[in-house]
Amino acid sequence: MKKNFIICGLTGWCLEILFTAFDSFRKRELTLIGKTSLWMFPIYGMAAIIKLLYLRIKNLPTLIRASIYSILIFIGEYISGSILKKYNVCPWDYSNARANIKGVIRLDYAPYWMLTGLLYEKIICRKK
């Protein structure tokens, strides 16, 4: 489980850096600077529980599994974001986004979280 926590933390960091760099490109900032926060490592690392969950839902259709992952990621993001916000150290703020909930989650990110959950599934649940 510790190995999967580290793999998920590092994967999350890399994905966030890529995602924010692509957002820079969208804004025509051709430096393509991507960024993340040290706070994000344990948050992404928590995705290691996907392995335990996968064992229970592996026979469900992909879209159902992806939806479950997305919901769980939203819950984790909401809880962690709320705690970090309470201490004024939350590295993200979605308050200006249309589909935000208390500035800590964006419902329009559901497809990204679905894909991220399936990616984590492939990375940490593959047969060895």
What pairs with residue 101 in β-bridges?
105
75-125 pLDDT tens trace? 999 999 999 999 999 999 999 999 999 999 999 999 999 999 999 999 988
Long-range own/partner contacts, residues 57-66 (CB < 8 A, 24 or more apart): 58/125, 62/118, 65/117, 65/118, 65/121, 66/114, 66/115, 66/117, 66/118
Distance from C-alpha of 93 to C-alpha of 90, rounded to nearest angstrom: 7
Query: What is the domain partition of the chain in residue ranges?
Result: 2-125
Prediction pTM value: 0.87
Closest listed residue to residue 119, CA positions, set 7, 35, 26, 17:
7
45-70 pLDDT tens trace? 999 998 999 999 999 999 999 999 99
Closest listed residue to residue 38, CA positions, set 114, 91, 98, 77:
91
In the chain, the amino acid numbered 49 is I
